[in-house]
Structure 1
Amino acid sequence: MEGLTPLFTGNRDFYRVDTAITVPQIRPADYRLTLTGMFDTPRSYTLDDLLGRDDLVERDITLTCVSNEVGGRLAGTARWLGVPLGALLRENGVRPGSTQLVCRSQDGMTIGAPTRSALEVQDAMLALGMNGEPLPVEHGFPVRMLIPGLYGYVSACKWLTGIDATTFEAVDPYWVERDWAARAPIKVFSRIDTPAPLRSFPAGRRPVAGVAWAQTRGIARVEVRVDDGDWVPAELSPQVDADLWRQWVLPVDFAPGRHSVAVRATSADGEAQPEERAAPFPSGATGWHTVQVVAA
């Protein structure tokens, strides 16, 4: 459908948010991932060590940046190839007392991820590939971490070179030092892609469509309201995986004039997208996405 976000995002179109002025360049032969801190058997891995594992998996996962505004486009979906994170941590004996994994990037960035999520979220991984290609340099080559259900600043360290098993009390990573929340689960979110805001189109029947996401839980319902009318359920694309966003569409008969179109979503575990608008700081934006359109 014209204007609707594709189910998968191409590597060149995938959003990028980081603090790297110059993208780190890491020679594959020189790469080392070092585990330190609260491990029974801390060790380091070469890139060949990771690529040669027999437990590599491919997973379709939608990533979201905490700085994404209501209606924003700092979200994307890719098919990721990588090492299951929980398995890697367990085989090195991450200790029960660890509550935080401080992930260290080649460029000096620190990202703090909850140890429990790293162990328990099924699709958490150390990603090596993206959409059938080696991980692009701007997206973290050769290795980045992904934990579905958490915003990127607490889960998706790029150019990953170290994992330090520690606690939330012991270390405040980069963004937490700047007063962003230490724990940041992704909020239920929906977006109208088409019609675009302030767009004029002929009166009559036309589709309203977009995407919605609630990673690790999935989307159960999307509803659309035009002006002061009732909320009407939209048709959802098939559920592929709880970590993947869902497309939605609702045909609407637009009378001539100006209209307000709003959308809201409900997760599979019953959490409703809140109406109240909140800015991204300190733990992610909330609010129903609403656009104004004109039927001529």
Structure 2
Amino acid sequence: MRSVLVVGAGAMGSQIAMVCALAGHQVCLHDVDPAMLERADRELRDRMARQVEKGRRTADDVTAAFERLRVADSLAAAAAAADADLVIEAVVERIEVKSELFAELDRLCPPATILASNSSSFVPSRLAAATGRADRVCNLHFFNPALVMACVEVVPGPETSGQTVASCVDLVESLGKVPVVLEKEIPGFVANRILNAVRDEAIRLYEGGYAGVEAIDTACRTALGYPMGPFELMDLTGIDIGYLTKQARYAETGDPADLPSRSVTELVERGHLGRKTGRGWYTYEGV
């Protein structure tokens, strides 16, 4: 694939765009909020400067990548400028927002363009229903932080073509990532379903008064070999992300067991969303 359009300039979208630009692809990063684009550019340049200082990347490679990365706050302008072979959506985890976006992308993009979502909450068939190209819709689920994590889940829907899957696998490999291809769609896919089972049990232990947050995280790191505990990970990725995922799952199943937990709901209602707000399960200075 020659060119990629990434929609949504939050932490995931901006890093996915940078990964693609570093791999040699022409990239356009779109967000409706110009302030988000400015923040994304600033944070990416700071992160890349640190990597150059540490010798992980060369200054020439980083400069060339930024020359391949454009930004646009108009979706129509972004789609026209990118003339994308692939669109990767990374907006808020709300099905009505994503469906409206996919319908608009279906209208704006060339017929051959593949439309992919970074969501793990919504399966491809739900997003494809908003388009006239179900054979060219799938999920490309990157993990946070996208500049570091190797895995990308490639999730086809019932109507996704084999060529679309093959093209997405080629793209993932061109990024230096490892594609994990699912045989069929399921909400949460593979990694997050396993991760969510661990997270839910950690929350049950905490809410039941069996162990504190730090004790549970320490056990997971020192006994199970996890790089970070489940509460630390929720703070890193954003407590609101898991909260919205749970709400989306409940909306699909109607099973009260799929609702967000009491403690997570309380944190979200207080605006304590993890590292990005300075407080979640833990408190972070200087945020």
Q: TM-score, normalised by structure 2?
A: 0.28
Larger relative CO (CA 8 A, sep 6+): 1 or 2?
A: 1
Over alpha carbons, which structure has the higher Rg? 1
- Bigger fraction of residues in helix: 2
